[in-house]
Chain A
Amino acid sequence: MHGKFDDLGRFADPSVLILTSLSDGPKHGYAIMTDVAAFSDVRMEPGTLYGALSRLEKRGWIRPLDTDERRRPYQITAAGQSVLAEQLKTMQQVVRTAARRIATA
């Protein structure tokens, strides 16, 4: 179900959450963690967060901005928005199918 996220391994799901979080503007590490917890109820830990951030940055799906003291905000790129949109389309398809099957079961 991950598609382009497949080769991210265990960082695939956190990556979707991070890209979703960055969709409404740049955020630094801790802000991403709190935002993800607020909209998904997932408590992401720093090791997972930075493992995913480094992979997203390598793929060019996010880019780091200038640091504000020790905090470095990240911004989603056009490529990141594109893979996120594609991923969400797949997830919506899964949700629709599951809902339909549950309703008829």
Chain B
Amino acid sequence: MRPPLAARLSRALVACYPPRWKQRYREEMLDVLDQHQASPRTVLSLAGGALTAHLDPSYRMGRPVIKNKAARALLIAAAGCMAVIALVYGVFTYTDVNQLIGDLVWHPGHAEGDTALVLTPDQRLLATLEGGEPDTAVVTLMSVGPAGLRQLSSFEVASPWPLPRTATWWPHPGTAGKPRCGTWPGPAIRPCWRY
């Protein structure tokens, strides 16, 4: 999970705590989050905390809409299960793209033109490179899931392409009709298919 996404989710989860809890702890928690580097563990911890706080009678306000205790408990349990499933799905879907890009293994694509396909070792992220003018190309990042491919972003790249600084590799259009890779920063370029 990218840190900014984890940070945004963490702050959103603080808003999910019961009102009485927020009156008492919200500002302190946000202050802690401002100083803390959020991670998937932070998100899970806050999701669990919010759920636990909702189950704590001392933080509930007003009269419950559903008066039957068993029905209320069942509803809370179902909501909790759905929240956990959604969260786990989210965590696994939004895996750290930078890390995935860092692990890219290139395969030669079409025989003609500067075209390449790249699939991460865990097969969850696919990037395509389509050649254009020398030193420019269009890269498309797609997530690979049971429902098929979903486009995450598409952008034109030059040399070096505008990847986050944590990325180690980037595709570089070759000069002989074949894609090449290089390390950044640094001038080293080598054929992409040498893996």
Interface residues of A (CB under 8 A from B): 28-30, 33, 43, 45-51, 53-54, 58, 67, 69-72
Instruction: List A contacts of B5 (CB < 8 A).
Output: none
Q: Is the CB of A47 within 8 A of B50?
A: yes
In the complex, the chain A residue whose C-beta lies closest to that of B35 is: A30
Between-chain CB contacts (< 8 Å), 24 pairs: A28-B28, A28-B31, A29-B31, A29-B32, A30-B32, A43-B41, A45-B45, A46-B42, A46-B49, A47-B13, A47-B45, A47-B46, A47-B49, A48-B45, A51-B49, A51-B53, A54-B21, A54-B24, A54-B53, A58-B58, A67-B27, A70-B27, A70-B30, A71-B28
Instruction: List B contacts of A47 (CB < 8 A).
Output: 13, 42, 44-50
Instruction: List A contacts of B31 (CB < 8 A).
Output: 28-30, 69-71
A50 to B59, alpha carbons, bound, how many Å? 13
- Annotate B44-88 by CB proximity to A: 1 below 8 A, 0 otherwise: 111111101100001000000000000000000000000000000
- Report A73 CB to chain B, min CB distance, Å: 10
- Report B130 CB to chain A, min CB distance, Å: 42
A96 to B29, alpha carbons, bound, how many Å? 38
Instruction: List B contacts of A49 (CB < 8 A).
Output: 32
- Report B83 CB to chain A, min CB distance, Å: 13
In the complex, the chain A residue whose C-beta lies closest to that of B49 is: A47
Instruction: List B contacts of A46 (CB < 8 A).
Output: 10, 29, 32-33, 36, 42, 45-46, 49
Q: Does B92 contact A (CB under 8 A)?
A: no
Closest A-B pairs by Cβ, 5 of them = A47-B49, A47-B45, A45-B45, A47-B46, A70-B31
Number of interface residues, chain B, beta carbon within 8 A: 26
Instruction: List A contacts of B42 (CB < 8 A).
Output: 45-47
Instruction: List A contacts of B53 (CB < 8 A).
Output: 51, 54
Interface residues of B (CB under 8 A from A): 10, 13, 21, 24-25, 27-33, 35-36, 41-42, 44-50, 52-53, 58
The listed residue with most B CB atoms (<10 A of its CB), out of A33, A46, A48, A49, is A46
- Report A90 CB to chain B, min CB distance, Å: 26
Contact of B28 among A43, A45, A58, A70 (CB under 8 A): A70
Instruction: List A contacts of B30 (CB < 8 A).
Output: 70
A53 to B28, alpha carbons, bound, how many Å? 12
Instruction: List A contacts of B44 (CB < 8 A).
Output: 45, 47
A45 to B13, alpha carbons, bound, how many Å? 13
